[in-house]
Amino acid sequence: MSLPGKGPVNEAEMENQMKNMLTVAALSGAGLLAGIGTAEAASTSKPVTGVMKGFATTYSSPSNESARMYHVQAGTQVDTYCYREGQVLNGNPLWFIINVDGTSAYVHRDLIAVDDVPRC
């Protein structure tokens, strides 16, 4: 099977993508996407453009143990709204709420180049 603009995909990858979409829908419907209390901060602050420093997986909360949302390629510009503390990775607890193509998620500080982003 292939997807427009994506080329061939295998069934396991498609199943994983479907699970991610269902997770996003469930979290959005429950008001939990973008960090339990940070959705308001994200919607009221003006986004700052960030650039992904490397290939990144984004998450539903500030932890790499939460649901995976989507992948972002190195060099991709993203809207960045605010940051908060979460799981400590490489000695750094900061996670940013980003938005790509209308979907918000968290990315760890090590993977994004961005300045002057407010705390959530």
pLDDT of residue 51: 97
Is 119 a domain residue? no
| pLDDT score of 105 | 97
End-to-end CA distance of the chain: 41
Report residue 5 as tokens: 């603009």
Could you give the number of structural domains in the chain? Answer: 1
Residue 104 lies in a domain: yes
Q: With respect to residue 118, please indicate whether it lies within any of the assigned structural domains.
A: no
Range of the domain at 85: 2-113
* Consecutive 10-residue averages of pLDDT for the chain (120 residues): 48 52 42 43 76 97 96 96 97 96 95 95
Question: How high is the pLDDT of residue 100?
Answer: 86
pLDDT at 37: 39
Q: Is the pTM of this model over 0.75?
A: no
In this structure, what DSSP letter does residue 110 have?
A: G
